[in-house]
Amino acid sequence: MKLDLLTLKLFVRVLEEGTISKAAELEHIASAAVSRRLADLEHHLDTPLLHRTNKGISPTPAGVELLYRARALLNNAYDLETRLHAYAKGQHGQVHIMANTSAVTQFLPAVLGQFAQQFPQVQLQLEEKSSLDIINALSEGKTEIGIFTRLPFQASIETFTFRHDELVALVPQSHPLAQFTEIDFIQTLDYAHISLFAGTHIHYQISKIAMEHNRALSIQTEVSGYDAMCLLINAGIGIGILPRESTQIYHIPNTRTIALRDAWRSRELLVGVRKQSELSPSAASLLALLLAEAPTQAQ
């Protein structure tokens, strides 16, 4: 015979209970079957493992060695089984997610916080990337889940509506545009902009609109996040276009938020995956939570 987990489990149980009959009762197996397995185990190892007396059963020195090693092995096997069952239920593992600045600053913290409470054993790896980089990463299989603002793309991925947000203009209090409560975007083209880097939806959108009006978009500074954009606008360096909710999380007292009249001010944020059917259980659980309060599916 070869060592197997059932035999080792019976061996440990017999020594813990002191008798074969008690161990057999607890394991729901016939006493004769337990005795036969223990005898075969001793024969296979070619060494006595048990002292059998009228007072019960006790281990030999070799039996003590096997007892401790078998108990450790059984514990490891139980832990492995528990972990694998958890994977099947999406309760363990690791999920790699990429999200653009808009999603990270407005919506993701609350959702990921809820996910962490429900699945504390799942490790989340969150990377902040531009929408274009996220789409490319999904297409190439470099991330399981991506959240980005809808823009034209050719990648073969599956997408779902996640949230909507609204773009506004943020200007210094002393700026000429600060007198208005709402404006058309074209009015901002007379002034220097602070913008996110190319590859982001906002950079794409404002550049597109400027070109459609045969106007130049004057970018004073490009930054990687809304925090830097808000601080620079607060310092009077330029104006910017960004989501309304993102202007409310920073301390920027020297600015004014102005509504845009343009239809494209309302944006759709998407959740993307390469193939939903190929997601790991943990990633599938996260996707379900991300879409739990989503409006309607995109495509």
Convert the pLDDT of each residue in 227-255 to its tens digit: 999 999 999 999 999 999 999 888 899 99
> What was the pLDDT predicted at 123?
87
- Which ranges constitute the DSSP H helices of the chain? 5-17, 20-27, 31-45, 61-88, 101-106, 108-118, 131-139, 201-212, 226-234, 281-290
Does position 84 have pLDDT exceeding 80, yes or no?
no
Angle at 218 between CA 215 and CA 245, to 5 degrees: 105
Does position 181 have pLDDT exceeding 70, yes or no?
yes
269 touches 262 (CB < 8 A): no
Does position 161 have pLDDT exceeding 80, yes or no?
yes
> What was the pLDDT predicted at 64?
92
Adjacent-strand bridge partners of 52: 57
Average pLDDT (101-123) is 92
- Secondary structure percentages of the chain, helix, strand, coil, to 5: 45, 25, 30
Yes or no: is domain 5-88 CATH 3.30.413.10?
no
Domain with CATH 1.10.10.10 in the chain: 5-88
Average pLDDT (137-144) is 95
CATH assignment, 164-266 = 3.40.190.290
pLDDT tens column, 43-74: 899 999 999 888 789 999 999 999 989 988 88
> What was the pLDDT predicted at 195?
94
Confidence at 298, pLDDT banded by 50, 70, 90: very low
Domain with CATH 3.40.190.10 in the chain: 93-161+273-285
Domain with CATH 3.40.190.290 in the chain: 164-266
Question: What mean pLDDT is reported for the chain?
Answer: 90
Name which CATH class applies to 93-161+273-285: alpha beta
